[in-house]
């Protein structure tokens, strides 16, 4: 008992030390550099995660089952590969982190690496007095395996290093093992007629150039953000005759500039290069940070707002959402974006998923796509749609805005909304890495930065409403994967999500029927995604799973979260994300996860991996695998573990500037205007009053479309237009 108390005390002291260390003042450290000892630690982690296997392990690796045989010499070369010996990779990793992470994160990472060079601290973290880089590969592997199943601070360390190292290695353009695992790199059709025949149809955008001395501009409306909300409201207001400026903190990439390579695309198009995470590393978030926002990099899934959610919002005083007017807004949006299910062609992974649902009598259906009737067989669309088939903001709303006279600024960070006498009168911004100053004066300011950045901008601008940043919903998601060694699936080919299962396993009777629970969809398993969503268990297991990359069917379990997190800002006004999944939402998602396991088993998977480090893969051995006693035990263990130690992510961020009937519970009124400041509106995912339970793009567009109509109506009534 005494030993246990001492151990817990040490854990507590380590946690306090970490918190003080990580929250200490951040110095200007860019360009980020590491000393020799820190590099040794980073190499040691790299050489543990992608380790040189011994002869016995290589024999096991050679037995990895795949329908299409892999050259044994290539497998041996892969098995002998030691990432710690690749100096060029360490340089790539440092350069990439330097590009995508904020200084605070880089500073924290430097401090963590330093801890592993201090013997007493290293002992507390690893159980070994020697620095981490002096341990044997086996000892390092055992340390990381223990971390993955331990207290939250150790799990955070494990997630941090496994994510940044494996993600960067497998995403790199020149990854030497792409051919070994059968991955083609960019879409082989990248320069086919699918691209060349449509090249002249792709819209081209011009951007206002801000000179070194700065610039002042005057517009009727400035829209901050160009995604699902900003693009729509800019288009509608410009068409109504307003002089509109759209500001985007990311950059515009024409279809000809989309390389469809993993690392290049993710660094250019995603927030923090795909490495955005909540405080404490509890949740990985994927969010667009480019012209067109999330509509540029999403999977084209286009659901309307479910009726049960519309009724829920109406019951809270937002009657508009059950009106014919909102129906009209959704219809206008889906028509402009070419939403339908008519051209869907199911690829191999979707066919397998549907077959599993059929055998279990589970619900399944086609997922609507915004592809204007095109058979959009593109698993690379998460890296931008090079073929212009996906009808995101770039191809629709922003084009409409451009054609109606709207102007654009890119690579522009808005520091604050300018406020005078309780009225928004413009914005102050900086452009480019040299921070050229831009002042825009306007009659109205529309904040459409998304659920992470919109509340941060409002806070930087001095808004005091206590609800700013509250009610963050993330659709927490978990990926599970079934292996089908007899079928070459290549999940990154074909439509990303052409089918889904609407299984809402709400385990709580009080809220049953209110659309909480889990939706099951498919996902494309590009190497960087596969390496970071299929749990790392050992150097051998990781290499075995990557050799079978083309034989995985990945299911994404997405929860409609009932309980929320929040956004606040650091000393520089940058957003910090706080989110811990509640027990309620965890239990519901766990039931969805179990349904996903059953679907894969019914479809004939030979092994199933879930996002739990402490739970081994399930391998059916019975003729009827659904009756396998080991499956029952596997499911019981899933329920026992829950989502506590899981790889949880989010591709949908909602709330934080909530719409409501009064200022005590919301940030904006039912017409999108902030309660606190006149002429200041919010029109993006942040105004959504709750989580949706479906991919939110169409809802965001429809709400922004409605707010644009409200602005036009109000100005017509008051004579301001």
Question: Which helix (H) or strand (E) element contains residue 634?
Answer: helix 629-641
For residue 652, indicate whether it is catalytic.
Answer: yes
- Stretch 347-360: mean pLDDT: 97
- Stretch 565-570: mean pLDDT: 98
pLDDT higher than threshold 60 for residue 27:
no
Q: pLDDT tens for residues 321-337?
A: 999 999 999 999 999 99
pLDDT higher than threshold 60 for residue 9:
no
Q: pLDDT tens for residues 55-95?
A: 999 999 999 999 999 999 999 999 999 999 999 999 999 99
Q: pLDDT tens for residues 152-165?
A: 889 889 999 999 99
pLDDT higher than threshold 50 for residue 2:
no
Read off the DSSP letter of residue 519: E
* Under 8 Å between Cβ of 451 and 472: yes
* Under 8 Å between Cβ of 409 and 290: no
Q: What pLDDT score was predicted for residue 12?
A: 46
Domains and CATH numbers, the chain: 2-172 (no CATH), 215-300+303-336+376-472+652-718 (3.50.50.60), 475-650 (no CATH)
Q: Report the distance separating Cα 495 and Cα 632, nearest Å.
A: 33
pLDDT higher than threshold 50 for residue 7:
no
Q: How far is CA 676 from the centre of its chain?
A: 31
Please tell me which residue, 104 or 414, carries the higher pLDDT value: 414
In the chain, % of residues over pLDDT 90? 87
* Under 8 Å between Cβ of 613 and 149: yes
- Stretch 96-122: mean pLDDT: 92
Please name the residues in contact with 134: beta carbons below 8 A apart, sequence gap of 6 or more: none
* Under 8 Å between Cβ of 476 and 469: no
The first and second tokens of residue 379, run together, are 């698993």
Q: Report the distance separating Cα 121 and Cα 131, nearest Å.
A: 9
* Under 8 Å between Cβ of 394 and 291: yes
Q: Report the distance separating Cα 257 and Cα 336, nearest Å.
A: 25
Q: pLDDT tier at 26 (50, 70, 90 boundaries)? A: very low
pLDDT higher than threshold 70 for residue 180:
yes
Q: pLDDT tier at 280 (50, 70, 90 boundaries)? A: confident
Q: What pLDDT score was predicted for residue 104?
A: 87
Q: What pLDDT score was predicted for residue 643?
A: 86
- Stretch 115-142: mean pLDDT: 95
Q: What pLDDT score was predicted for residue 8?
A: 44
Q: Which of these ranges, 78-92, 538-552, 606-620, has the smallest mean pLDDT?
A: 606-620
Q: What pLDDT score was predicted for residue 508?
A: 64
pTM, whole model, 2 decimals? 0.94
pLDDT higher than threshold 80 for residue 23:
no
Task: Please name which of 663, 615, 622 lies closest in space to residue 643, comparing C-alpha atoms.
Answer: 615
- Stretch 336-341: mean pLDDT: 98
pLDDT higher than threshold 80 for residue 41:
yes
Q: What pLDDT score was predicted for residue 507?
A: 62
Q: Report the distance separating Cα 563 and Cα 560, nearest Å.
A: 9
Q: Report the distance separating Cα 635 and Cα 628, nearest Å.
A: 11
Q: What is the 3-state secondary structure (H, E, C) of 89-147?
A: HHHHHHHHHHHHCCHHHHHHHHHHHHHCCCHHHHHHHHCCCCCHHHCCHHHHHHHHHHH
pLDDT higher than threshold 60 for residue 621:
yes
Helix, strand, coil: what percent of the chain each, to 5? 45, 15, 40
649-650 vs 284-285, strand pairing mode: parallel
pLDDT higher than threshold 60 for residue 14:
no
- Which member of 475, 515, 526, 652 is catalytic? 652
Q: pLDDT tier at 151 (50, 70, 90 boundaries)? A: confident
- Mean pLDDT, the chain, rounded, equals 93
Rounded to 10°, the helix 55-62/539-547 angle is 20
Give the count of beta carbons closer than 10 Å to the beta carbon of residue 402: 20
Q: Report the distance separating Cα 515 and Cα 194, nearest Å.
A: 39
pLDDT higher than threshold 60 for residue 24:
no
């Amino acid at each position: 008992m005494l030993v246990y108390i001492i151990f817990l005390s040490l854990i507590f002291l380590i946690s306090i030390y970490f918190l003080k260390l990580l929250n200490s003042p951040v110095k200007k450290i860019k360009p980020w550099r590491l000393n020799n000892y820190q590099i040794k630690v980073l190499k040691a982690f790299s050489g543990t995660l992608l380790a040189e296997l011994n002869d016995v392990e290589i024999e096991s690796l050679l037995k990895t089952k795949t329908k299409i045989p892999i050259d044994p010499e290539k497998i041996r070369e892969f098995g002998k590969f030691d990432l710690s010996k690749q100096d060029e990779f360490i340089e790539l990793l440092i350069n990439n982190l330097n590009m995508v992470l904020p200084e605070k994160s880089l500073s924290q990472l430097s401090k963590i690496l330093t801890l592993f060079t201090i013997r007493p601290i290293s002992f507390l973290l690893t159980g070994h007095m020697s620095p981490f880089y002096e341990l044997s590969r086996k000892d390092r592997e055992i340390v990381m395996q223990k971390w993955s199943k331990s207290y939250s601070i150790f799990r955070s360390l494990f997630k941090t290093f496994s994510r940044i190292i494996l993600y960067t290695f497998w995403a790199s353009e020149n990854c030497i093992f792409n051919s070994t695992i059968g991955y083609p790199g960019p879409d082989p059709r990248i320069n086919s007629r699918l691209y060349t025949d449509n090249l002249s149809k792709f819209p081209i955008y011009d951007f206002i150039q801000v000179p070194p001395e700065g610039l002042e501009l005057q517009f009727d409306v400035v829209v901050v953000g160009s995604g699902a909300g900003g693009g729509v409201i800019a288009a509608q207001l410009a068409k109504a005759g307003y002089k509109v400026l759209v500001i985007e903190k990311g950059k515009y990439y024409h279809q000809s500039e989309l390389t469809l390579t993993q690392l290049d695309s993710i660094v250019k198009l995603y927030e923090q290069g795909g490495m955005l995470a909540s405080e404490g590393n509890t949740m990985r978030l994927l969010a667009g940070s480019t012209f067109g926002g999330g509509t540029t990099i999403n999977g084209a899934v286009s659901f309307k707002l479910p009726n049960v959610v519309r009724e829920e919002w109406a019951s809270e005083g937002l009657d508009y959402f059950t009106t014919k007017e909102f129906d009209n807004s959704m219809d206008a949006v889906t028509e402009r974006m070419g939403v339908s299910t008519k051209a869907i062609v199911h690829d191999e992974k979707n066919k397998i998923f549907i077959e599993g649902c059929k055998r279990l009598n589970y619900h399944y259906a086609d997922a609507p796509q915004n592809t204007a009737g095109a058979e959009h067989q593109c698993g690379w669309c998460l890296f931008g749609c090079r073929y212009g088939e996906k009808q995101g903001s770039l191809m629709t709303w922003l084009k409409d805005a451009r054609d109606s006279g709207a102007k654009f600024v890119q690579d522009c960070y808005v520091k604050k909304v300018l406020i005078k006498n309780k009225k928004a009168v413009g914005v102050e911004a900086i452009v480019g890495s040299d921070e050229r100053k831009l002042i825009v004066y306007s009659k109205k300011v529309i904040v459409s930065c998304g659920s992470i950045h919109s509340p941060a901008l409002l806070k930087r601008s001095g808004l005091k409403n206590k609800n700013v940043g509250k009610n963050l919903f993330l659709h927490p998601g978990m990926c599970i994967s079934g292996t089908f060694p007899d079928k070459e699936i290549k999940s990154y080919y074909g439509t990303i999500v052409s089918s889904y299962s609407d299984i809402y396993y709400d385990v709580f009777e009080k809220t049953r029927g209110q659309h909480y629970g889990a939706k099951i969809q498919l996902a494309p398993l590009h190497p960087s995604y596969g390496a970071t969503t299929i749990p790392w268990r050992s150097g051998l297991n990781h290499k075995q799973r990557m050799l079978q990359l083309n034989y995985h069917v990945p299911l994404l379990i997405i929860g409609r979260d009932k309980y929320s997190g929040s956004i606040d800002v650091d000393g520089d006004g940058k957003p910090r994300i706080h989110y811990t999944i509640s027990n309620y939402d965890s239990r519901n998602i766990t039931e969805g996860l179990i349904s996903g396991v059953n679907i894969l088993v019914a479809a004939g998977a030979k092994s199933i991996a879930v996002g739990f480090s402490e739970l081994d893969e399930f391998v059916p051995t019975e003729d009827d695998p659904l009756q396998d006693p080991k499956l029952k035990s596997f499911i019981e263990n899933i329920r026992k573990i829950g989502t506590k130690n899981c790889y949880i992510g989010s591709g949908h961020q909602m709330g934080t500037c909530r719409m409501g009937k009064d200022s005590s519970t919301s940030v904006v009124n039912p017409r999108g205007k902030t309660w606190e400041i006149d002429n200041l509106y919010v029109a993006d995912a942040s105004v959504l009053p709750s989580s949706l339970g479906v991919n939110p793009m169409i809802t965001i567009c429809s709400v922004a479309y409605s707010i644009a109509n409200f602005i036009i109506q109000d100005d017509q009534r008051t004579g301001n237009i």
